[in-house]
């Protein structure tokens, strides 16, 4: 079995070429990072590049941040294997951006400087709120980080032709070290440039692949779908073959029974409300000078992300048609291998090498963004505002941020080694669920509800954070999924089928934890009398008019 897998792996592309392309990307981007951003930095430069990017640049960088390995490789694979249901999944990721555009981006830009906690603690009691927000920011970023690092480990076996434990760990360590270099040398400015370059490469490669696939089917999308159905119907696996015509109709993944159906509603809710609560996405709004540029950023991000998911639709069905479910299922990395295998099918080793390089770059760039956000939370919220009560120098703050970045790099590397066999999509869904439960209710309340106060914020943040994590812990993703008849292993995180402590039926906690967090925010607020009319007026006037943003930038 092991030999078969290795033989299968070795057939795809040239590991040397893949490594070479990745190394070139790292060398070029590191060169750029050093050129644009080396040297000593103020806190503003380190966290937010001094707010000096344009809306268009930031929009491209947001797309780079958002089109992570999970959404590029994961969605293409889901469409290749589950057709319509994979497509359905991608739509939630896009529609979510309207929440950011209409309700969050501009108002956050106008009221905050460096971190999410700046906005949430604006008119509330600083210390308790900053501590609570820091907990949820770090939790969300940690799960997202693990997902990316797990993705790196999974990709290696496919792209470098190695499947050994040690080799995967080595690659995770390399990704971690390079990422820390970007962050330490370049700060937010360097990281943003890496995101921009990566986003352009990724979208360009996806565009070439889509056009190539469509050209093979006479630019007729209906024939492409037929191709995927035909290839799937010819599968050696009878069960897969029987599903062929269901590729074009809903239900292959989420329509099995009532539990999977409700689970999908729960996932959809988390996706659509989670995006605008992801700390590393919110942090990006501070890299532009004004709310108008923040608006422009989101406009650009929506065009690029939407366009990219449309390309993913053809890439996914293209992989289903030209590579086929059997090869995808046999490849190391399974569904995540669909897009790279399609690249190999179309353009041989060279295109595979390019896609592989971009996939690694994607992980690198996203992890760097997460690290900046988390280190800003440590240095700005916990060290400066909570621990030093605002009395510290810029130098000390930036030094703490850099030390935090190093520590987060270490956590990412070891966490990634531990999590590399975990399902990436699950980890990402977890991050979205926690973001939608612990962050978004407080963001919306503090921007839009006059009566909101500290108790409401604390109940909502801690309630959302704990309920989502506890529900996941007792859900089938952690234990108790039925054992696979072939391997005897459970599909849960704990693969031993005899260990089963789940009592929550859904994989996704959002359906319970998001409404609960909104409810707790309301309940906490109405049971507390705290209200600061002056601060409320200041926050509301600033959030809508942008007054005071220019002054804040001059510091």
Partner 1 sequence: MSVNPTTTSEAYQAVQASEEFQTLRKKFRSFVFPTTAFFLAWYFLYVLLSIFAPKFMGTKVFGNITIGLIFGLGQFVTTFVITFIYARWANRQFDPLADAIGRRLDGGTEH
Where does this chain bind partner 1 (CB under 8 A)? Answer: 84, 87-88, 91-92, 94-95, 97-99, 101-103, 106, 220-223, 225-226, 229, 248-251, 254-255, 261, 264-265, 268, 272, 292, 295-296, 298-299, 302-303, 306, 309-310, 448, 533-538, 540-542, 544-548, 550-551, 554-555
Q: Nearer to partner 1 by C-beta: 98 or 241?
A: 98
Distance CA(94)–CA(287), nearest Å, equals: 22
**Least separation, in Å, of the C-beta of 190 and partner 1?**
26
Q: Nearer to partner 1 by C-beta: 28 or 221?
A: 221
**Least separation, in Å, of the C-beta of 265 and partner 1?**
6
**Least separation, in Å, of the C-beta of 147 and partner 1?**
23
Q: Nearer to partner 1 by C-beta: 185 or 544?
A: 544
Q: Nearer to partner 1 by C-beta: 244 or 358?
A: 244
Distance CA(427)–CA(448), nearest Å, equals: 31
- Compute the chain's Rg from CA coordinates: 23
Q: What is the DSSP letter of 275?
A: G
Q: Nearer to partner 1 by C-beta: 303 or 503?
A: 303
Q: Nearer to partner 1 by C-beta: 29 or 312?
A: 312
Environment class of residue 399 by beta-carbon count within 10 Å: exposed (0-12), middle (13-18) or buried (19+)? middle
Alpha helices in 258-290 (DSSP H): 258-274, 279-284
Please answer whether residues 502 and 495 qualify as being in contact, where contact means their C-beta atoms are separated by less than 8 angstroms: no
**Least separation, in Å, of the C-beta of 172 and partner 1?**
35
**Least separation, in Å, of the C-beta of 357 and partner 1?**
29
Distances in Å between the alpha carbon of 553 and those of 50, 52, 178, 192, 375?
7, 10, 30, 19, 20
Centre a 10 Å sphere on the Cβ of residue 484 and count the other Cβ atoms it contains. 12
Contacts of 38 (CB under 8 A, 6+ apart): 185, 186
**Least separation, in Å, of the C-beta of 86 and partner 1?**
11
Distances in Å between the alpha carbon of 283 and those of 104, 394, 437, 502?
12, 19, 18, 36
- The residue whose two tokens read 């366009």 is 307
Structure tokens at 14: 């040239």
**Least separation, in Å, of the C-beta of 95 and partner 1?**
5
DSSP string across 441-464: HHHHHHHH-TT--HHHHHHHHHHH
Q: Nearer to partner 1 by C-beta: 350 or 544?
A: 544
DSSP string across 220-239: -HHHHHHHHHHHHHT-SSHH
**Least separation, in Å, of the C-beta of 386 and partner 1?**
24
**Least separation, in Å, of the C-beta of 226 and partner 1?**
6
Q: Nearer to partner 1 by C-beta: 391 or 554?
A: 554
Does the CA dihedral 324-329-331-337 come out positive or negative?
positive
**Least separation, in Å, of the C-beta of 128 and partner 1?**
22
Q: Nearer to partner 1 by C-beta: 218 or 485?
A: 218
Q: Nearer to partner 1 by C-beta: 75 or 356?
A: 75
Distances in Å between the alpha carbon of 298 and those of 99, 118, 295, 304, 306?
10, 20, 5, 10, 12
Phi, psi at 496, each rounded to 5°: -75, 115
Please answer whether residues 370 and 70 qualify as being in contact, where contact means their C-beta atoms are separated by less than 8 angstroms: no
């Amino acid at each position: 079995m092991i030999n078969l897998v290795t033989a299968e792996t070795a057939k795809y592309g040239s590991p040397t070429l893949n490594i070479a392309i990745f190394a070139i990307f790292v060398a070029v981007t590191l060169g750029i990072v050093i050129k644009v951003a080396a040297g000593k930095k103020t806190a503003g430069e380190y966290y937010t590049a001094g707010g000096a990017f344009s809306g268009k640049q930031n929009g491209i960088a947001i797309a780079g941040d958002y089109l992570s390995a999970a959404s590029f490789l994961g969605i293409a694979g889901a469409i290749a294997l589950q057709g319509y249901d994979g497509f359905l999944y991608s739509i939630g990721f896009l529609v979510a951006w309207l929440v950011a555009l209409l309700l969050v981006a501009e108002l956050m830009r106008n009221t905050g400087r460096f971190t999410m906690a700046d906005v949430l603690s604006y008119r509330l009691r600083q210390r308790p709120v900053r501590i609570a927000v820091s907990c949820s920011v770090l939790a969300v970023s940690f799960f997202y980080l693990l997902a990316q690092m797990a993705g790196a480990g999974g990709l290696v076996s496919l792209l470098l032709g190695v499947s050994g434990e040690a080799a995967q760990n080595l690659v995770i360590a390399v990704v971690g070290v390079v990422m820390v270099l970007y962050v330490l040398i370049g700060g937010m400015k360097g990281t943003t440039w890496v995101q921009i370059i990566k986003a352009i490469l990724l979208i360009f490669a996806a565009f070439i692949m889509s056009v190539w696939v469509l050209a093979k089917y006479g630019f007729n999308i209906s024939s492409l779908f037929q191709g995927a159905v035909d290839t799937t119907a010819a599968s050696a696996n009878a069960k897969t073959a029987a599903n062929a015509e269901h590729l074009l109709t809903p239900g292959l993944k989420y329509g099995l029974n009532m539990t999977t159906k409700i689970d999908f509603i729960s996932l959809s809710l988390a996706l659509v409300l989670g995006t605008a609560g992801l700390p590393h996405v919110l942090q990006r709004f501070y890299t532009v000078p004004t709310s108008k540029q923040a608006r422009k950023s989101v406009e650009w991000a929506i065009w690029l992300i939407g366009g990219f998911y449309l390309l993913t639709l053809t890439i996914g069905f293209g992989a289903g048609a030209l590579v086929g479910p059997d090869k995808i299922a046999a490849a190391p990395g399974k569904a995540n291998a669909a897009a790279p295998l399609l690249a190999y099918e179309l353009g041989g080793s060279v295109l595979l090498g390019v896609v592989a390089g971009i996939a690694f770059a994607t992980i690198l760039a996203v992890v760097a963004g997460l690290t900046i956000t988390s280190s800003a939370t440590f240095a700005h919220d916990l060290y400066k505002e909570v621990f030093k009560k605002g009395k510290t120098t810029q130098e000390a703050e930036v030094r703490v941020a850099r030390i935090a970045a190093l520590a987060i790099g270490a956590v990412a590397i070891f966490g990634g080694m531990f999590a590399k066999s975990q399902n990436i999509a699950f980890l990402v869904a977890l991050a979205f669920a926690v973001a939608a439960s612990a962050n978004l209710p407080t963001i919306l309340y503090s921007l839009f509800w006059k009566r909101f106060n500290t108790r409401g914020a604390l109940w909502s943040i801690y309630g959302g954070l704990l309920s989502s994590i506890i529900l996941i812990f007792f859900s089938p993703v952690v234990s108790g999924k039925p054992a696979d008849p072939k391997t005897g292993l459970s599909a849960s995180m704990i693969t031993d089928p005899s260990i089963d402590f789940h009592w929550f039926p859904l994989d996704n906690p959002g359906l319970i934890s998001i409404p609960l967090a909104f409810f707790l925010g309301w309940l906490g607020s109405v049971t507390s009398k705290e209200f600061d009319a002056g601060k409320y007026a200041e926050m509301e006037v600033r959030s809508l008019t942008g007054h005071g943003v220019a002054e804040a930038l001059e510091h």
